[in-house]
Structure 1
Amino acid sequence: MVAHRGASEDAPEHTLAAYVKAIEDGADALECDVRLTADGHLVCVHDRRVNRTSNGRGAVSALELADLATLDFGTWKGRDEAGESPDWGDPGATSVLTLERLLELVADTDRRIELAIETKHPTRWAGQVEDKLLQLLDRFGLAAPAAPEESAVRVMSFSARSLHRVAEAAPTLPTVSLTQFVTPRLRDGRLPAGARIAGPSIRIVRHHPAVILRLRQAGHQIHVWTVDEPEDVELCVRLGVDGIITNRPKQVLTQLGRL
């Protein structure tokens, strides 16, 4: 079970608070999106711009890490009727989160936590995102697992080009091809070159379960996003998917009988 942007229903997405909560809730893996700042740091931010999730404005790619560090990525979440935000604990718990800091958090955890890292595209930085990502994973000893099934990290993307870059540079690192709509390739049970795992949306699973069965018959693992409703969890279990990505890790784990 993968915590989508951390325990993002309960805490501000992509913040240290959200990922600590996901680990406490028992998540097997943490999902994050990564973007490259103007000065070459990978940060965990979903949108191209910071407007929605922070008290600042502007594109991540046009801002330096020091600029992002001045912003608050948490006060918008969970405000009460008086406009007060919850206390997320550590003062840095809702600051911009670098991928490096997230990797440190996982390394310091006393149980195995996997990471599902999504590269966002299109981007002004072309292949630099993948290059920086693999360099950082290499620093943590995560870029070259002995075999894909032994890896604690998988790289996800909607971009086939991104996955191809990763697969060429790190052949044993698992890659997930994210898909929002059914394509002829998907109907045939095929994935783009360089992709090892299918990543269909829950919408595909609901409306085209035959596609999921075809992917399974073709021997592909299937990781579904974003699965929050109990009936969707049940459907994924019935279809035998390999990974459930959710904003509600605690609720899903409870439903699966693991808590």
Structure 2
Amino acid sequence: MIKIAHRGISAQAPENTRAAFNKMLPLGVSWLETDIDISSDNQLILIHDNQVDRTSDSEGEVNHKSFSELQKIDFGGWFGTDFVGEHIVTLDWLIDFINANQLNVNFELKTAVTEDNQQYYLKRVVSALNRVNSGSDMIVSSFNLELLEKYHQLMPQVAIGVLIEGPLPDNIVALAQKIDAKYIHPDVTYLTQNQVSYLVANQLAVNVWTVDDDLMAIELEKWGVNAIFTDFPET
């Protein structure tokens, strides 16, 4: 079973920062997960929340700030004094990092992008992801099935994963098949062994979030889960 570093090694460093990604290297972790959002002046950046409040010393909507404004914000001090001065990471920086270190990646498309800006956002994402070396495995996922389907139409060669928050819907297989998804990314809180068996029997690989309990990870591997997203991928 694959262990995917959830926003980098986010148990040891502030999530989605250079520090969190760099900590993967000495641990030998080969898979990472991160989130692609866009600034008000159309720069692709890595941040999970729609607002900067939780993971910085500032506040406000990500999409309402320019890249230069975001660069002035401290994204590390909230986690610990050793990380004061960590800046927001661009998608371009991360792709260079992935290519230099032969890493594999799951990119999550963020859902706060407005309908009017979706197509531009997706074209920018596709252009950037075309730079990822062919030797790296890549998955693109989202909770927003419409956004995910639009992305897949632009870049069908990359496997996509359906993110599910809460219980799996009864029609999950049909939803995945409609947009040609290869992966289901369910919430560990609600997942059952029977559901995993059902998904696998329908040729859908299961990547579960967020699993930070070793005993749960062992159980999920027995169930046939393909991968887990975890803040502790080195354990």
Tell me if both proteins adopt one fold, taking TM over 0.5 as the criterion: yes
122-131 vs 213-222, which moves further: 122-131
- Deviation of the 1:190 alpha carbon: 5.5
1:234 correspondence with 2:218? yes
What residue is the counterpart of 1:82 in the other structure?
none
> What does 1:33-112 correspond to in 2, within 5 Å?
33-78=35-80, 85-86=81-82, 88=83, 94-109=86-101, 112=102
TM-score, scaled to structure 1: 0.83
124-133 vs 165-174, which moves further: 124-133
- Secondary structure of 1:202 counterpart: coil
TM-score, scaled to structure 2: 0.91
User: Could you tell me how far apart the structure 1 residues matched to 2:174 and 2:198 are?
Assistant: 5
Q: Which amino acid in structure 1 is aligned with residue 5 of structure 2?
A: A
- Deviation of the 1:26 alpha carbon: 1.8
User: Could you tell me how far apart the structure 2 residues matched to 1:101 and 1:141 are?
Assistant: 11
1:115 correspondence with 2:114? no
- Secondary structure of 1:33 counterpart: strand
RMSD: 1.8
- Deviation of the 1:250 alpha carbon: 1.5
Match of 1:209 among 187, 193, 196: 193
> Which residues of structure 2 form unaligned runs of 5+?
none
User: Could you tell me how far apart the structure 2 residues matched to 1:15 and 1:74 are?
Assistant: 8
- Secondary structure of 2:72 counterpart: coil
Q: How many residues align?
A: 229
Which ranges of 4 or more aligned residues in structure 1 deviate by more than 6 Å?
none
Alpha-carbon deviations, 1:78-119, whole Å to 9, x = none?
3xxxxxx12x4xx86x1100111111111111xx31110001
What residue is the counterpart of 1:183 in the other structure?
169
Match of 2:121 among 129, 152, 173: 129
Match of 1:12 among 1, 11, 14: 14
> Which residues of structure 1 form unaligned runs of 5+?
79-84, 252-259
Alpha-carbon deviations, 1:47-97, whole Å to 9, x = none?
11101101111111111111011011000113xxxxxx12x4xx86x1100
Q: Which amino acid in structure 1 is aligned with residue 159 of structure 2?
A: P
Match of 2:232 among 230, 248, 254: 248
